[in-house]
């Protein structure tokens, strides 16, 4: 039995495999074509049988999107650190 890829439900005429990433809070899957972000297990995805064209498309999108996803992750980490630093000054150090 072939593996299946999760694909974006927003554009059925052009099948785009979703990229699994933790760059977006609450969304594990991201569509590089339309910027759709969805989570698991209740996310809105469509499964498509893996074939060579879909596998190549996924590789290309992952390679092209890597710098963007790194920037998003660093931005999220930066915001989280500033939030933690802000609250540490208010006596919540033990809670964090």
How does pLDDT run across 16-31, given as a tens digit for each residue?
Answer: 999 988 788 778 899 9
Residue 89: the pLDDT is 57
State the Cα–Cα distance between residues 20 and 8, nearest whole angstrom. Answer: 12
String of DSSP letters for 26-94: TEEEE-TTT--EE-TTTS--EEEE--HHHHHHHHHHHHHHHHHHHHHHHHHHHHHHHHHHHHHTTT-TT
77 vs 8, higher pLDDT: 8
Average pLDDT over all residues of the chain? 80
Pick the more confident residue, 57 or 93: 57
Domain boundaries, the chain: 4-65
Q: What is the pLDDT of residue 84?
A: 60
With cut-offs at 50, 70 and 90, classify the pLDDT of residue 95. Answer: very low
Q: What is the pLDDT of residue 64?
A: 93
């Amino acid at each position: 039995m072939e593996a299946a890829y999760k694909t974006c439900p927003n554009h059925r005429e052009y099948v785009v495999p979703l990229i699994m990433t933790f760059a977006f809070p609450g969304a594990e899957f991201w569509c590089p074509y339309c910027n759709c972000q969805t989570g698991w297990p209740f996310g809105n995805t469509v499964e498509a049988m893996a074939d060579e064209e879909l596998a190549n498309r996924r590789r290309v999108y992952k390679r092209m999107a890597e710098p963007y996803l790194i920037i998003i992750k660093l931005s999220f980490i930066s915001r989280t650190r500033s939030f933690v630093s802000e609250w540490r000054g208010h006596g919540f150090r033990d809670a964090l």
